[in-house]
Amino acid sequence: MWVKPQEVFQSALWDCDETTLYFVLQRRKGHGKSKGLSSIIVGTLDSVRDTKPAPFRILHQTPNSEIYYVIATALTEHEIREDWNWLFKNVSPTLHSFDSEEEVTEFVCCKINSIIATGQESITEDEDTVNYKNVDYDFHQRFNMPKDEKLVCYYSCSYWKGKMPRQGWLYLSVHYMCFYSYIFGRNTTLKIRWADVTELAKTNSLLFPDSIKVVTRDGEHYFTMLLKKNETFALMQQLANIAMKQLIDDKSGTFNTDKELLTKLSKNVPKKPSFLKRDLDAKKQSNLYTLRFRLPHAEKLDGTEECTLWTPYNKRHNWGRMYLSQNFICFDSRVSNLVRLIIPLRNVYQVEKADSGATSSSWGVWKEFLVHKISELLAKLPNDMYREKSGKAVASSRGEEREWTPQPPLMTLFKTHQTASIKQIQQKKEKQWEDHMAEVGRGVSMYRTTEGSELVVKGIPESLRGELWSVFSGSILQKVQSKGLYERLVKEALSSKNQANDEIERDLHRSLPEHPAFQNDVGISALRRVLCAYALKNPTIGYCQAMNIVASVLLIYCPEEQAFWLLATICETLLPDYYNTRVVGALVDQGVLEELTKSQLPDLHAKLDELGMMKMISLSWFLTLFISVMPYESAVNVMDCFFYDGAKVIFQVTLTILDVNKDKLLKCTEDGQAMQILSEYLEGISNEEAMALSTEPRTAKKTIKIQDLVYQSYRMYGANVSSECIEHLRLKHRLRVVRQLEDSLEKNTLRALQQDRLLEPNELQELLSIIREELFWAKRVPSERLEAPYEAYRLDYGQFKTIYTALSPWAKGDYAEAITARIFKLMDHDDDGLVSARGLSVGIGLSTRGDAQMRLRALYCAHAPPLLSPLELRPTHFTETGEELATDAISFFDSIEPASSPDPSLQRSISEVCSEGNQMDKSTDSAYSQAESSQAVDSVRACALLGLPSPGASTPGTPPPPRTAPALPRPHFLLLLAALHDLTQHSTPLYEAVARAGTVLLQLGELRHRPNLGREISQDSLYLAAAAQPSAIELDPNGNTTEQEPGRPQPSPSRDSDRDPTDDWSITLEQFLATMLTEATLEEFFNKQVSILPQLEALRQRDRLHSVS
């Protein structure tokens, strides 16, 4: 790479590789070839200082000058050679024509500068600095990182290896944290995956002063002497959290960098070493911003500015900070909760045009830059007027075909008979709110003031709930952004049939059964639409019980579409990950609650912990927002505050409930008693300002007014439990919960795998950790509805091959690829191109631990007709030798599957090819219908696993699949024989034994080769066959061969299309086993137990470089 010519000194740190009259090609000492003390010192210097120069460079110098100019640098020798050669071709010849050396230098510098200038365009797009690129290169080399692993940032620090601090560099990348130090010939390397981190903490102990502690399942690591400890720690937390989120959501491909940042409007972009770091910082800021103002997730913070806001309702200037993003201007006062304001830019547009003062605000410090920027942002907005118009047109044209109409709030249809006093209270509240909103405005842009929050705490009047919930939670913004989406989702969701819809259907009548609206179709249909539409919108959640309960209450107070968007906001923003397939969010918050209880109510925490209660209470309370434990008309008051203030509210209410009942709880002797106390208390929470519409009379003894409870919760815990504190604790507990879930999945998988009794537990453990490592780069399967725990780990062919060839003794010779492919097909039970962890462990286990019978049977089955695809067999028509076949098999897999590429499209392609292969089977074997063919495949697979517990067999009621393998036709048998030869070629006696057995078998097969036997299964010959050999018709009416007794010769599934004389040639499994096992050497060979621990260790070494010193 050419660099701007710069004067440098010829220093001792460089070795000259080549010298010409005007140019010198140099290599950094300590790099590549040169060895010796000086190179070690240079290495240390480079490692200690953040100079990290590129290891190769070209200098320009004229013979009579002492001054050197560096004109090119490069990371690899190849690269520098390119530049070097270019110089010779293009520059050197012209240099002789100059008169003076100054002119030469001037020309060279000018030339290089111009090259750089022409390349300028690409350089501005290049987001990262040269220095960073060098480090990035080093990072990938040193830690053996895949190319697409991105380095985020690097910091100088010390790592405590034992009692010795090592000065070096901490590298933080998207998936790993690494440490490297190189001091006087001793290097220390550490590589930790974020996904393995269980705890991150800032500590300050005597032993490790002022350090960052990183805990993994393998141990603790301490880093000290960080220059920017807080920044480093924050970044570590953020990266670990991203890793956890990926584990939760099973979509690791979602980490996208935001290129828009490059063209960010802001002027003074801070200097950061990597673009990615800037990106992550920006993401974090935007996250906080969207959380604070409840804006849609996609909103990106553009900048903030100190300013004052003039509030018309009290005619005052308020100091605070203004936030700007693509679609919003927000303001938050410096005094917390004094005033907060959100203005969607599209409203600004309208206000300007209408020139009304609905959201008039004046900015104290109003810089020209800001005005400019806001107008820039405005210009970027799509033309709303147009969009709305077209939207309406679409809506009206569609209106006729719609089979349903969205429900208004159900409380408007099912009216309560309010007593006079309640009516009065409600009216009074409505009046208060009307007055308030007259002052502060209505809708998204209303000023959120202290008076407003006080009104919320007292409880929102029923008639305004729908509107205010939507405004406070920000769900109204989502609704506006996605116009028409709900309608489309409902249409699609109701016409589809899936598991989520079935589960929803079962729960519709179990949501809020006491409310009359849900005792007839009006409410039930609306609830069905909302839940089904959401399950379709967010498949990672689908449907989780408890959502039905929340949604039914939303429907009472809000119009249907609003209820849908409120539900979406709850599931995605307010209670993140709560309802996903592993209820992770609820578990995280369980941990958060536990920690809060411990710090706020220590003695009660000890008691509840002793009773084992901490894990019981929060689940239903949190998942249903108290609706399932309190009367719903009381729970909605908690929801008022929840939408206004966020998840902190449920924590403070929970703490208050525990606090109020503390004395009683402390006296409990067992968990049931404590649960009783709490549930009686909760059922008795009353709301005297509203009337419930319920067919179930509220008979519980009244304990407290909900208004009092909410008020107390703010008074006692409002200040101690802040949103920031909750977010922080969630981060911490997420690490722990995800680790636990992964561990328990792993534990269950191990337990299931051990039942095969092939590999030893410690081997399985190692194997599983290797599988996890291998899968880490690929997409994980959603762990929903797993038949068995090991199904969570599924490998495609590339991944399977990597591990299988490294571990199995069968995958060592020339046939490794072919055998691996056949075992893969054998283990791929559902033909989806993916094999589970069990498939792999059994595949390896059979080849190393099974007895001779098992191993030979597995090999036989892998070569049996339905499995061995005709694609692999085709060349038999041209050649009789096995070799070409095998290479063909190799190219078959190679062409469709570039090794170990996790690209889903490729993955699809292999499964497509596999199923295509089956279709070939089906189309050529006209005697086999689709179902029969798959049955035959199943029975072959089951036969291969004979003697192992089968996962489905113990399920009550389902008969175990038949376990028979068909006879092998000649071409199949030849392939099998070739494979056996390959396995035994290392030893002459074995090889000869195989040859002997092979000869016998070939003769045996020849015996069975009786042409014109009439065993054709084709339609017209059936009669003939029946007449010739009544007893030989082993086919049941379905054409199934499953009824055959083992040992009886079986017809091969012959093909009508290409009948040739060898067609009836066949060898049965029993013949094969018997013949092979008569050879004692072979029996011994196949009985030999092979340890795979050394291979496992080697694989592990390749994958992980743990502290090599």
Partner 1 sequence: MSSRKKVLLKVIILGDSGVGKTSLMNQFVNKKFSNQYKATIGADFLTKEVIVDDRIVTMQIWDTAGQERFQSLGVAFYRGADCCVLVFDVTAPNTFKSLESWRDEFLIQASPRDPDNFPFVILGNKVDLDNRAVSAKRAQQWCQSKNDIPYFETSAKEAVNVELAFQTIARNALAQETEAELYNEFPDQIKLNANDNNRNRDGDNCAC
Residue 148 CB neighbours (<10 A): 8
Of 382 and 956, which CB lies nearer to partner 1 in the complex structure? 956
For residue 534, the surrounding DSSP H or E stretch is: helix 521-537
Of 454 and 784, which CB lies nearer to partner 1 in the complex structure? 784
Of 743 and 1097, which CB lies nearer to partner 1 in the complex structure? 743
Across the strands, what pairs with 164?
Answer: 161
Of 587 and 940, which CB lies nearer to partner 1 in the complex structure? 587
Please report how close the Cβ of residue 620 comes to partner 1 at its closest, in angstroms.
Answer: 4
Of 514 and 832, which CB lies nearer to partner 1 in the complex structure? 514
Separation CA 766–CA 840 (nearest Å): 13
Helix, strand or coil, per DSSP, at residue 832: coil
Please report how close the Cβ of residue 406 comes to partner 1 at its closest, in angstroms.
Answer: 25
Of 396 and 695, which CB lies nearer to partner 1 in the complex structure? 695
Pairing of strands 704-705, 685-686: parallel
Backbone angles phi, psi at 203, to 5 degrees: -125, 165
Please report how close the Cβ of residue 1106 comes to partner 1 at its closest, in angstroms.
Answer: 27
Q: Is 696 exposed, middle or buried (0-12, 13-18, 19+ CB in 10 A)?
A: exposed
CA-nearest of 867, 869, 845 to 855 is 845
Separation CA 769–CA 781 (nearest Å): 17
Give the tokens for residue 461: 């009047």
Of 610 and 884, which CB lies nearer to partner 1 in the complex structure? 610
Q: Tell me, what DSSP letter sits at residue 71?
A: E
Of 128 and 503, which CB lies nearer to partner 1 in the complex structure? 503
Q: Tell me, what DSSP letter sits at residue 697?
A: -
Asked whether 489 and 533 are in contact (CB, 8 A), the reply is yes
Please report how close the Cβ of residue 799 comes to partner 1 at its closest, in angstroms.
Answer: 27
Backbone angles phi, psi at 1042, to 5 degrees: -75, -20
Across the strands, what pairs with 26?
Answer: 16, 57
Of 66 and 521, which CB lies nearer to partner 1 in the complex structure? 521
Of 49 and 506, which CB lies nearer to partner 1 in the complex structure? 506
Asked whether 796 and 907 are in contact (CB, 8 A), the reply is yes
Helix, strand or coil, per DSSP, at residue 365: coil
CA-nearest of 984, 833, 996, 827 to 904 is 833
Asked whether 262 and 127 are in contact (CB, 8 A), the reply is yes
Please report how close the Cβ of residue 4 comes to partner 1 at its closest, in angstroms.
Answer: 60
The string of DSSP letters for 967-1020 reads PEEHHHHHHHHHHHHHHHTT-HHHHHHHHHHHHHHHHHHHHH--SS-----SHH
Please report how close the Cβ of residue 407 comes to partner 1 at its closest, in angstroms.
Answer: 21
Of 158 and 580, which CB lies nearer to partner 1 in the complex structure? 580
Please report how close the Cβ of residue 676 comes to partner 1 at its closest, in angstroms.
Answer: 8
Please report how close the Cβ of residue 472 comes to partner 1 at its closest, in angstroms.
Answer: 25
Of 359 and 841, which CB lies nearer to partner 1 in the complex structure? 841
Please report how close the Cβ of residue 751 comes to partner 1 at its closest, in angstroms.
Answer: 6
Q: Is 458 exposed, middle or buried (0-12, 13-18, 19+ CB in 10 A)?
A: middle
Helix, strand or coil, per DSSP, at residue 521: helix
Residue 889 CB neighbours (<10 A): 24
Asked whether 561 and 551 are in contact (CB, 8 A), the reply is no
Asked whether 1028 and 1014 are in contact (CB, 8 A), the reply is yes
Of 278 and 838, which CB lies nearer to partner 1 in the complex structure? 838
Of 954 and 1012, which CB lies nearer to partner 1 in the complex structure? 954
Please report how close the Cβ of residue 765 comes to partner 1 at its closest, in angstroms.
Answer: 14
Please report how close the Cβ of residue 831 comes to partner 1 at its closest, in angstroms.
Answer: 23
Contacts 24+ apart (CB under 8 A), 981-988: 981/882, 982/813, 982/814, 982/815, 982/819, 983/809, 983/810, 983/813, 983/815, 984/1082, 984/1085, 985/813, 987/1085
Please report how close the Cβ of residue 645 comes to partner 1 at its closest, in angstroms.
Answer: 23
Asked whether 779 and 251 are in contact (CB, 8 A), the reply is yes
- Report the Cα 203 to chain-centroid distance in Å: 30
Of 628 and 769, which CB lies nearer to partner 1 in the complex structure? 628
Of 322 and 535, which CB lies nearer to partner 1 in the complex structure? 535
Please report how close the Cβ of residue 809 comes to partner 1 at its closest, in angstroms.
Answer: 27
Helix, strand or coil, per DSSP, at residue 721: coil
Separation CA 32–CA 71 (nearest Å): 21
Across the strands, what pairs with 220?
Answer: 215
CA-nearest of 956, 950, 939, 896 to 1069 is 939
Of 747 and 1088, which CB lies nearer to partner 1 in the complex structure? 747
Of 516 and 809, which CB lies nearer to partner 1 in the complex structure? 516
Please report how close the Cβ of residue 954 comes to partner 1 at its closest, in angstroms.
Answer: 6
Please report how close the Cβ of residue 673 comes to partner 1 at its closest, in angstroms.
Answer: 9
C-alpha separations of 562 from 59, 406, 474, 530, 550 in Å: 69, 10, 11, 10, 13
Please report how close the Cβ of residue 509 comes to partner 1 at its closest, in angstroms.
Answer: 7
CA-nearest of 792, 852, 799, 816 to 1081 is 852
Interface residues with partner 1 (CB under 8 A) are 503, 506-507, 509-514, 544-546, 548-549, 580-583, 587, 612, 615-616, 619-620, 623-624, 628, 669-670, 672, 675-676, 695-696, 744, 748, 751, 754, 785, 954-958
Separation CA 566–CA 553 (nearest Å): 11
Please report how close the Cβ of residue 614 comes to partner 1 at its closest, in angstroms.
Answer: 8
Please report how close the Cβ of residue 935 comes to partner 1 at its closest, in angstroms.
Answer: 20
Separation CA 81–CA 814 (nearest Å): 38
